[in-house]
Structure 1
């Protein structure tokens, strides 16, 4: 072989080997960050939103709701696993050892049993986590980008809560797209991520849970303060009074109501089943609310501390062994008030909600369903809650 041909052959053989060595040992951070970021994008933007599964609870008799949710999920590129809802008439007194003196509606008992069945599926299928949805909800066309930012906020909260619990940490709504940020997942060691509700409070200084807040300023997907109201007879959310317009805040769950959408980790499902399967107090959202706040004494009894007291005057140490439940204001999922629609537990908005639409959600999937089916782009969606527009509630 001629000398120049040997030289060319040597370059062809050793150049790739040198490149691999250089990328692996001399600059290892670059490919690792790139790979972890791509994995993170796939996790949050996949068809189950980064969870093992998305469960939707639906009564077999409400095929109208199943059809509507199926279509909304399809245009959002989401995959649902259906949980057959249980009607109150299917829950016997034997199945519900209700505490003495506690009464509740038949629908509330059926709802509790349905959510228990969803938790059992998480354990039985050995899922790492699952998102549990009710079948009359709505979300923004930009849900996946919202969840990417929430994922960063969740990880930040979990990290910061181990050190300084009294700070408010600020994030940018575009932080999740920064190439320097990697491993954008929801984090570890959480029990519940309460993503859809119809009301929440901020933990106060007397709470048993961390008061840490992660605020996200300038989020264009958030309505103006005048729109931050879950029902026509409710007060406007304090979020709009305490923070500048278009601010989202992630914090520990406090006084949340309505289990419209919540994610449960495997460990969280085990804890919840241990606490509530065969133990019924009241409607499910109120039970989950108390549990997240560490108010059930059986398995989550905090240690005494003279600085904090609960409603009964008993002293506790904040945090103690309370569950780790995070929530977000405004919620990322909200109840859709359809024309003539009613809940199987109670009437919409307690029976007083006369408007139609979805509170908190600007580019509503439900309201834009015809455009989405036709393949319209985001810039062609109708904003149901523009800053200068009318509120849903007349």
Structure 2
């Protein structure tokens, strides 16, 4: 079993400033199962209702340090398993041909795959029934627990869960919950919820991975829950233990055709995994001022931006930014004069 360096967060005493009130609304008027206090207690625990939270990380850096600060602020406990230093031979042995481009995966893309498999192994070793995977540059809102409590009944409804166990607040009929991504197609049968923790204009200013803004929903502050379609990016996702063991066994055959996002999405589409997407995402990657934020881009030699300010797209009240601020702030974009972006001004 690999050694783990772990920080157990202090249980944050959240001031009234951080309290967000939610109301649930579905344009389909679906009868949601009531999420009682026992369910909420599990979601409000240090692992968000999962049995563990594990982080994909190459080691100590601004990414992991900021993630731990955000976890402390929001009362989360995370494991950061030691990641092996894979040899060139091991990386090349894993690199299959992409059936779209006919080219091999790049070494950075391959190491990303191996990092996720390493976290799956960690979860399997700990026999977790469910767990959340985070990439180490990820960020989330200070109200993440309330957000997950909001979407949990919709997850149970759309997956047709048969479990009433409070130990399974998200139900028992899913394999993967895609909670951190950079976009997914929204099918017409998506369940819509009113989420007041969303930026008021995110429905018309949703930021895609290439920096472009797009219209996401017809109404402001809509959070959608739907079966996974064509997601991009693996900032954060939850797996069941059974799904992790299946994927871990499959990985021994090196039977991968593309980058991790592509393969996971394909397995969701093919029914190999039963997957649910939360849209807009609950987790997004953080951009740190003065740094090249993509480790894959650095290894691959791809062009990458250096940002002037810290920001996290599509997240109203970043846990990373607020872990360094005495007052509630937003750092949703790189524009210092934006109504939703005060952190750059306050931190200078």
Matched, 1:212 2:201: no
CA distance in 2, matches of 1:350, 1:288: 25
CA contact (8 A) 1:213 1:249 kept: yes
3-state DSSP of counterpart to 1:59: coil
Q: CA deviation at 1:120?
A: 1.8
Q: 1:289 and 1:63, CA in 2 relative to 1: closer, same or farther beyond 3 A? A: same
Q: Which range moves more in the overlay, 120-129 or 273-282?
A: 273-282
Q: Which range moves more in the overlay, 282-291 or 181-190?
A: 181-190
CA distance in 2, matches of 1:93, 1:185: 38
Q: CA deviation at 1:94?
A: 6.3
Cα deviations across residues 1-24 of structure 1 (Å, max 9, x unaligned)?
Answer: xxxxxxxxxxxxxxxxxxxxxxxx
Instruction: Name which of 263, 281, 291 aligns with 2:257.
Output: 281
Aligned partner of 2:57 in structure 1 is: 58
Aligned partner of 1:382 in structure 2 is: 329
CA contact (8 A) 1:260 1:335 kept: yes
3-state DSSP of counterpart to 1:360: coil
CA contact (8 A) 1:91 1:110 kept: no
Q: 1:230 and 1:49, CA in 2 relative to 1: closer, same or farther beyond 3 A? A: same
Q: 1:391 and 1:46, CA in 2 relative to 1: closer, same or farther beyond 3 A? A: closer
- State how 1:350-365 maps to structure 2 within 5 Å: 351-352=304-305, 354=307, 356-365=310-319
3-state DSSP of counterpart to 1:370: coil
Instruction: Name which of 207, 231, 239 aligns with 1:264.
Output: 239
Cα deviations across residues 127-175 of structure 1 (Å, max 9, x unaligned)?
Answer: 1011000000111011100010111111111129x9xxxxxxxxxxxxx
Q: CA deviation at 1:352?
A: 4.6
Cα deviations across residues 41-71 of structure 1 (Å, max 9, x unaligned)?
Answer: 22100000010100011102x4332222111
3-state DSSP of counterpart to 2:321: coil
Q: 1:217 and 1:76, CA in 2 relative to 1: closer, same or farther beyond 3 A? A: closer
Instruction: Name which of 245, 250, 266 aligns with 1:290.
Output: 266
Aligned partner of 1:311 in structure 2 is: none
Q: 1:385 and 1:72, CA in 2 relative to 1: closer, same or farther beyond 3 A? A: closer
Aligned partner of 1:340 in structure 2 is: 290
Q: 1:383 and 1:56, CA in 2 relative to 1: closer, same or farther beyond 3 A? A: same
Aligned partner of 2:16 in structure 1 is: none
Aligned length: 295
Matched, 1:230 2:208: yes
CA contact (8 A) 1:222 1:247 kept: no
CA distance in 1, matches of 2:91, 2:57: 22
Matched, 1:221 2:198: yes
Asked which structure has the greater CA Rg, the reply is 1
Matched, 1:254 2:229: yes
What is the TM-score when the length of structure 2 is the normalising length? 0.75
Structure 1: 5+ residue stretches without partners: 1-32, 163-180, 204-210, 295-320, 375-379
Aligned partner of 1:197 in structure 2 is: 181
Cα deviations across residues 182-213 of structure 1 (Å, max 9, x unaligned)?
Answer: 9581111210001001111124xxxxxxx631
Matched, 1:75 2:73: yes
Structure 2: 5+ residue stretches without partners: 1-32, 342-348
3-state DSSP of counterpart to 2:267: helix
- Compare the two structures and name the one with the higher helix fraction: 1
What is the TM-score when the length of structure 1 is the normalising length? 0.67
CA distance in 1, matches of 2:36, 2:245: 30
Aligned partner of 1:41 in structure 2 is: 40
CA distance in 2, matches of 1:350, 1:256: 23
Instruction: Name which of 215, 220, 232 aligns with 1:245.
Output: 220
Q: CA deviation at 1:358?
A: 0.6
Q: CA deviation at 1:370?
A: 2.2
3-state DSSP of counterpart to 1:190: coil
3-state DSSP of counterpart to 2:249: helix
CA contact (8 A) 2:294 2:304 kept: no
Q: 1:127 and 1:107, CA in 2 relative to 1: closer, same or farther beyond 3 A? A: same
CA contact (8 A) 1:48 1:78 kept: yes
Matched, 1:188 2:172: yes
CA contact (8 A) 1:87 1:106 kept: no
